[in-house]
Chain A
Amino acid sequence: MDLVTMNILDSTLVSICREMGITLMKTSYSTIFNEGLDFTCAIADTNGDMISVAEYCPAQIGGMPLLIKTCSQEIPLDTLSEGDVIIHNDPYRGGLHVPEHTLFMPFFHEGEPLGYLVAIGHVAEVGGMVPGGFAGEATEIFHEGFRVPPVKIRKKGKDVPEVWKLLLANVRTPRYNYGDLMAMIGALEVGSRRLTEVVKKYGKQEFQKTNADLAIYSEKRMRAEIEAFPDGHYSFEDEIENDGNSNKPFFIRVDVYVQGDEVIADFSRSDPQAKGPINATLGVTWSATYNAMFHLTDPSIPKNSGCFKPIRVLAAPGTVTNVNYPAPEVAGNTETHPRLAALVVGALATGVPHRSFAAESGTAVNFVFGGHHPDYDEYFACYDLMSGGWGGREGFDGNDCVICMNGNCRFNPTEVFETRFPWIVEDFAMTPDSGGAGEFRGGLGFQRILRATRTDITASQCTDRHRVRTWGLLGGKEGGNGATLIQLDGKSDWQPVTEVFGKVSSSKYSNITIRPGDRVKLVVPGGGGYGKPSDREKERIEEDIREGFITEKAASLDYGL
C-alpha cells in the first residue's frame, strides 16, 4: 500500500468532483441547485462503489451506494459507450426521491470502462400534483412527479431528442429543467476530461489498486473509530407528527448494536408505512445511518465505499423506513432522513455522550410554490428552504439557524427571492427562546413572513415538528416548535393552515392558494438543549438576555435566574 500515492490520488479525485460541482453551481437554473447547493458529484468504480466525492449534499453522498448499483442492473456498464449519459430519478430503483436527478456517464481508459462519473442534483420542478415537487397530501408516487427510470439522455455524446421531449413535456418549467440538466451534463463532461487524464497518468492497474487501497484505508479508520465506542445495544424512538393524510403520528425506532468495530442499525420496529409522503426508501434509511455515523466519527476520514462497510442497516419492508411501491416518499429524503439520523445519534448518546448532540430542527421547512410571474410572463416554481437550530453539544451551544444534517444548503437572500418571485418578505427574524434550555442550549430557529403581492401563488409544504418538539439530551430541555400560519388580507389574526384551508395538517399539505395581500408565516424549530439548565454558567445566561436570544421570562422559568 503506497500511502503517499494514495494521499495524492485521493485529493486529486476530490478536486475533480469539486470542479464538477463548480460547473453545476455556476450553470444550473433551479435556486435549490445554484443557491441552495443541493447536489453532489462523485466518482464510482466498475461495481458502482464510490471512489471519491466532493463535500456537497450529505444526503446524496449516503445515497450513492445503492444508486449506481441498482441502475447498472438495468443498464450494465459493458453495454455503455463513451459519451453516453444516463438520467434517472426513480426512488423505487435505488433513488432518493423524485426531485433528485442522478446523471451519470462511464469513463474509459484505452477503450475499457473503468467506472462512472456521477452528478446528483435536486431539480425544483418535476411535474406531479403540485408545483415544486413536495405534495404534502400525496398518496402515490405518481402524485410526486414524473418518474424517470435509468435511460440514456445522450448516446455517444449526442442528445437523444425523444427522451428530452418526454422529460420537458411533463414539467411546469421546461426552460429551467433544461438548464439544470444541461448543467449536470456539463459537469460530467468536465469530470470526464479531467479523470481521463488522471487515469492515463497512473495507468489502469495503479489507479484501481490505489483506489482499492484507499477504500481499505477509510474502512480501517472507520473501524478504529467504532471500536472506541462501548459495545452494547442502544435504542431510541421519535415521532413524526403526521403524514398529511390523517392526524395520526408515526413512530420511528432504532436498535443500534455496537459490536467490536461494527455497527448495526435496525429500524424494523418502526411503524408501518404511511399513506402520505413521509416514507423513506431503503436508500434513504441507509443514507441517514451513514450520515449519523459520519457525524459521530472523525470528519477527516476520506469518504468512499470503505467508510460504509462497517455499518449495516436493517429496515423491514413495508415500514416508514423501507417503503413499498407505489407509496409516496418525497419527504422521506428531506424530513425523515434527518430524523432517522438523529435517532441513531440519540441512541448512541448513551454510549458516546461527548460526541452526541441534542435534536436539531430536523427540517428544511420545504415550502414550495409556483404560479405565473407577471413581470417575466412565465411559470415560476420554487423550492424554498429555511434552517433551524442545532442541538446543544458538549462544550458548545447549538448553532443558530443552520441547515439540518441531510443538507448543506444556503437559502435565498431576500433580495434575490423578491426579484425572482412575486412575494414581499416582511419579517426575517430569529425566534427568542426557541433553543431548548440546557447547560449548552439549543440553537435558535427563525421565522419569515411572506406576503403575496400581485398574483395568486399556489403553495405546498412538507415539514414537521409543529407539534412534536426537538428532544434534549442529558437533562437538556426541548426546543421550540415550528409553525405555518396564514393571515388573510384584511384580517389581523394568524390562523393555522388547517383552519383556513380545511387541511388535515399545517405541516404537510398540497396546493393552497395565497392571494395578493395574504401573508404566510413560516417558523423553523429551534434545537434541543444539552445538559441540565441549572449547570449553565450565569454569564452565558446574562449575555443571552442582553443579546435577546432568550427573554428574561424564560431565564427565570428555565434557568431560575
Chain B
Amino acid sequence: MRHLVGIDVGGTFTDFVAFDPQTQKLDVWKTLSTPKDPIEGILSGLENYDANAIEAVDHLRLGTTIATNAILERKGSVVAYVTTRGFRDVPFIQRGKRKSHYDLTWIKSKPLAKRRYCFEIGGRITARGEEYEPLDENEIKTLARTIANDPNIKAIAVCLLFSYVNPIHERRVADIFSNECPDKPVSISYSVLPKWKEYERASTTIADAYIRPLVSHHIGRVEEQFTKKGIGKRVAVIKSNGGEMSLDAAKNAPIQMTLSGPTGGVVGAKHISSLVGVEHLVTLDMGGTSTDVSTVVSGRESFTTSFEIEFGVPIQIPMIDIRTMGAGGGSLAWIDKGGMLRVGPQSAGAQPGPACYDQGGNEATVTDANVVLGRISPSNFLGGSMQLNQEVANQAIGKIAESINKNIDQTALAIVQIANNNMIGALRSVLTERGLDPRDFTLLGFGGAGPVHVSDLMYHSGIPSGIIPNHPGQFSAFGFTMTDARIDLERTTQMTSKAFNRDHANKVIKELSQEAVESLNLQGHKGEINLYRSLEMRYFGQNHELEVPISFDEFNDITILSGWEQFHQAHRDRFNFDIPGEIIELISVKLTAVAVTERPDLPTITKGHDKPEPVGSRLVTFDEGKLETRIYQRDQLKMGHSLEGPVVIEEPASVTVVRPEQKVLVDEYGHLLLGKIASTNR
C-alpha cells in the first residue's frame, strides 16, 4: 500500500520515479522545473501521477539544488562570522594559492561573509586542547547584543581555533548567542565539521549559516504544501552523502544538502552493483552541459572531504566524491588560436541548445556531431517529442570541417573523439589518479547523453564492461528510491603510534557512535542501524591521510597493532611502497551510521525465446567507418536477448550506441550489459 516517490529537482526538468510495492510497478516521468518556487513544479508533477495512487504515497524523497544554487549564485543571507582574536581574516586570506598558472585575469573568490560582519573574541585553546586564555563572557555578550540589534544580520557562524580538539569555548559562545539573539540561527564549527584546518572549517561553517534561513524557508514551504495536500507521511531530503534525512534534520544541518541531486545516480549505481553482482563500478552521468563521474568500489560509494563548490570556497563535510566536468551533449566545438580543434567547456546550454535543436543556435556541439554520425536519430530525440534538424547540424559541423580541412564525417568523429577524451580524463581522475585499475571496473552510463558514449569510452579507457540501467534519463530520481538514512561523522583526533592515547581514541569512537545513533533515532529510525568505522592515518610527517576501515569498535593491545599494520598495507596498495617501522599518525576517526530503509524490489522482465527484431537500420559512422547498423527499440528487448555491435538501441530519453564487435546482453531486469560482462553473464 505504501508508495515511494523519488523526486530530482534539476535546473530544467524535475524527474519523478514512483514505485508501487504491491504491483511492483515503477512509474517514471518528468515535468518542467519552476526555479522561482521549486515546490510548484513538484506539486504539479505529482498531479501527473495516478490520481488514486497519490493518496497512497507514503514516502517522498527529494533531491534539490536549492543549497548549491544559493551558494553559487550568492543568494544566501548576511552572516556574522565570529572567531578567535587575530583570525577574522582567515576566510579572506585563505590559503594563498591561485586557481591556475599564468592567468592574470583571475579574481580571487570572496568568502560568503562580508568583512564588516566578521568579529573577534578573546580566549584560546591550544593544539593539545588546553585552555591557554579563558573566554571573556562580557565581551561576548556585548558582541551578541550588537549582532542582535543589527537588522542586516540573519545568521551567525562561529569558528574558534582548535575547537575540534576541545569544543568547550565554542559551545559556550553558541549558548550565549542563542540567549542574546534567539531569532538568529547559530552554526558552530564543532557541529558542522569537527576537523582541523581553520580556513576550510570556517568556510564550511559560514556556508552552513549562509544558507540556513533560505533552506529553512524552503523546507517550511515543502512541509506546509505537502501537509495541505495530505501527501506523504514521511518526507525526506537527500544529503550530499547520498543518504536521506528528515526535514527537521535538514533544517538543522543545511550544509548537508550541498550536493543533493547528483548523488542519486551513485546510490542507484551502488544498488545495481549488488543487483547485477559487479563489485566495482564507475558512473558516467552525462547531460547537456556537464558530466559527473564517480565510483562504487567493492560495493561502496567513494567519499571526499575536500570538496570545493567553487575555487576558494571549500565545503568539507563528508560527501560522495563526484567529479564534474564541462563536457556534455551541448558542449561547443571550436578552433583555438593555433588551429587545434577543441570541445567545451563552453556549452550551448538549454537555450539555444545544439544547432540541431533549431532554436537559433548555429555552433557545432557534441550532439550535432552525434546526429551527423547517425548515432542520434533526428526523429527519435526525447522519444520523438522533439524533431532535430539534420541539415542545420551538417552546416554547423561543416563550418568546423572547413577550418581543419577534413570532411564532415571526419570532423564529427573528431569532435566526438575529443569529447570522449575529455571524459576519459575525468574517468582517469577517479580511477588511475586514485590508484584504481580501469580493467577492474564496469562503466555505468546514464543521463540523456551517457549511453551514447559508453561503448566508445569503454574501448578507449580500457574499461572492459558497461551497463546501461533502465530509465537512464531519470536515474538520479531512481537512486533516491534506493537510498538509506545515513550519517557520516568525522572528528580530528591527532596522535601518533609512538604516543597513542588509547582512552581518548576510544572515547571519540564511542561518542561518534552515540551521536549518530541518537540522531537517526530522532529521525524516526528505530530499527537496525549499521555502524562502519574507519581511521584516517598517514606516516608521521605526511600531510594527506589514507582512510582505513576497521572492524573493531575499541582499541586494545591487539586491535591497535592490527590498525597500524592495516595502514602499512593500505599505503602499499595505494602507492606501491611502504615505510616499515615508521611512526604512524592517526588524524581522524570516522563513523558512518546507516539505518536501512525499505526499498523496492525491481521488477523483472519476461524472458525472450525468440531473436530480437530490429525496427530498422541506418548508416552510422564509427571509428572503423560508415557501417550499416541495426536499430532496436529498448522496450522490445527481453531478458536473455543478445546482440553484437554495431547496433543502436533507442528509448524515449536516450540512445545506446554499441561499437562494432561489442556484445550486448539484456539481463532479467532489462539492464543492457555491454562488453565482457555480456559474454560472461550468459
A contact set with B: CB distance below 8 Å: 3-4, 6-8, 11-12, 15, 18-19, 22-23, 25-29, 31, 34-35, 37, 55, 58, 61, 175-176, 178-179, 182, 185-186, 189-190, 194, 217-218, 220-221, 224, 291, 294-295, 297-301, 355, 357, 375-376, 385-387, 393, 395-396, 399-403, 408-411, 413-416, 418-419, 424-430, 446, 449, 546-549
Contact = CB atoms under 8 A, between A and B. Distances in A.
A186 B103 CA distance: 31
Contacts of B421: 7-8, 11-12
B107 A396 contact: yes
A396 B128 CA distance: 43
6 contacts: A190-B576, A375-B128, A396-B105, A413-B197, A418-B127, A424-B126
A299 B539 contact: no
Nearest to B417: A4
B90 to A, nearest CB: 6
A217 B337 CA distance: 10
Interface string B548-576: 00000000000000000000000100011
B102 A416 contact: no
Contacts of B102: 58, 291, 294-295, 297, 299
A140 B314 CA distance: 44
Contact of A3 (B93, B103, B339): B339
B379 interface: no
Contacts of B425: 11, 15
B336 interface: yes
A446 B577 CA distance: 40
Contacts of B197: 413, 415-416
B141 interface: no
Given A4-B341, A399-B108, A411-B95, 5 more contacts: A3-B341, A221-B337, A375-B499, A400-B108, A413-B200
Interface in B510-558: 539-544
Nearest to B106: A399
A189 B577 CA distance: 10
B427 to A, nearest CB: 10
Interface stretch (B35-43, B81-89, B297-305): B81-89
B414 interface: yes
Contacts of B576: 186, 189-190
Contacts of A189: 576
Nearest to A386: B96
Interface string B483-494: 000000000001
Nearest to A177: B541
Contacts of A7: 340-342, 418, 421
A402 to B, nearest CB: 5
B432 A401 contact: no
Contacts of A299: 100-103
B101 A548 contact: no
A395 B97 CA distance: 21
A23 B197 CA distance: 21
B96 A424 contact: no
A546 B97 CA distance: 26
A402 B98 contact: yes
A37 B114 contact: no
B198 interface: yes
Contacts of A376: 496, 498, 540
A116 B213 CA distance: 56
B93 A26 contact: no
A157 to B, nearest CB: 12
Contact of B104 (A194, A357, A415): A357
B116 A547 contact: yes
Contacts of A424: 124, 126, 132
A217 B336 CA distance: 11
Which A-B residue pairs are the 4 nearest by beta carbons?
A: A387-B96, A29-B541, A34-B543, A299-B102
A403 B543 contact: no
B433 interface: yes
B161 A415 contact: yes
B480 interface: no
B216 to A, nearest CB: 28
B470 to A, nearest CB: 33
Contacts of B104: 295, 355, 357, 393
Nearest to A219: B338
A22 B306 CA distance: 14
Given A11-B422, A396-B107, A430-B92, A415 B544 contact: no
A387 to B, nearest CB: 3
A429 B86 contact: yes
B132 A428 contact: no
B101 A403 contact: no
A19 B571 CA distance: 16
